[in-house]
């Protein structure tokens, strides 16, 4: 569906699509991508999605003290990825609280869904306690879903 993605991905139908190539470092002796490494792919995608929305995490932390912490992560391994695979990570905002984000992610190879991740993420301040997301960040995150609605509206 999205054959050629640029390095910094693309927003499409309410999801952020980010390309990941599988290298030797990602695989293990079973010849497949090691199960923990999908969490790295997913984190890269979330980071680039935020960057796309104008958020550099380091600057955000420096300026507002706000950082993101994963509270819960569930991973379903449906099919294995292999060396040299050209994968796409889809990231969607599933929920937005005052100081929390629910994120759904999928790792695709062509039309096949290999892995599904579901994450509960907390926004915390320097003291490690919950900190409200700044309005500009909320708006940026919600704009992702706007694209869905726009696409849906357009499709009618």
Show which residues are catalytic.
28
Q: For a copy of itself, which stretch binds (CB under 8 A), given 36-44, 103-111, 129-137, 144-152? A: 36-44
Return the sign of the alpha-carbon dihedral for residues 53, 54, 57, 61.
negative
CB-CB neighbours of 11 under 10 Å = 16
- The verdict on 73 binding a copy of itself (CB under 8 A) reads yes
- Alpha-carbon 30 to chain mean position: 26
Select from 1, 3, 54, 58 the one that contacts a copy of itself (CB under 8 A). Answer: 58
Select from 34, 96, 100, 147 the one that contacts a copy of itself (CB under 8 A). Answer: 34
**Between vectors from CA 113 to CA 40 and to CA 42, what angle results, nearest 5°?**
15
Q: Would you list the DSSP string of 85-140?
A: -EEEEEEEEEEE-SSEEEEEEEEEETTEEEEEEEEEEEEE-TTSSB-PPPHHHHHH
Give 14 or 130: the residue with its C-beta nearer to a copy of itself.
130
- The verdict on 60 binding a copy of itself (CB under 8 A) reads no
Both structure tokens of 89: 């990570």
Give 57 or 64: the residue with its C-beta nearer to a copy of itself.
57
- The verdict on 126 binding a copy of itself (CB under 8 A) reads no
Task: Kindly list the residues in this chain that would bind a copy of itself in the complex (CB under 8 A).
Answer: 5-7, 19, 21, 23-25, 27-32, 34-37, 39-40, 43-44, 47-48, 56-58, 67, 69-77, 82-84
């Amino acid at each position: 569906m999205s054959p050629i993605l640029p390095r910094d991905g693309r927003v499409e139908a309410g999801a952020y699509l980010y390309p990941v190539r599988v290298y030797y470092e990602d695989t293990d002796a079973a010849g497949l991508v090691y199960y923990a490494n999908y969490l790295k792919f997913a984190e890269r995608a979330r980071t680039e999605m935020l960057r796309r929305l104008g958020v550099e995490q380091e600057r955000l932390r420096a300026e507002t003290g706000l950082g993101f912490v994963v509270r819960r992560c569930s991973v379903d391994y449906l099919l294995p990825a292999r060396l040299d695979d050209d994968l796409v990570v889809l990231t969607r905002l599933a929920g937005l609280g005052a100081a929390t984000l629910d994120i759904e992610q999928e790792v695709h190879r062509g039309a096949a869904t290999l892995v599904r991740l579901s994450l509960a993420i907390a926004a915390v301040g320097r003291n490690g306690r919950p900190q409200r997301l700044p309005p500009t960040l909320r708006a940026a995150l919600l704009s992702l879903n706007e694209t869905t609605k726009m696409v849906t509206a357009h499709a009618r």
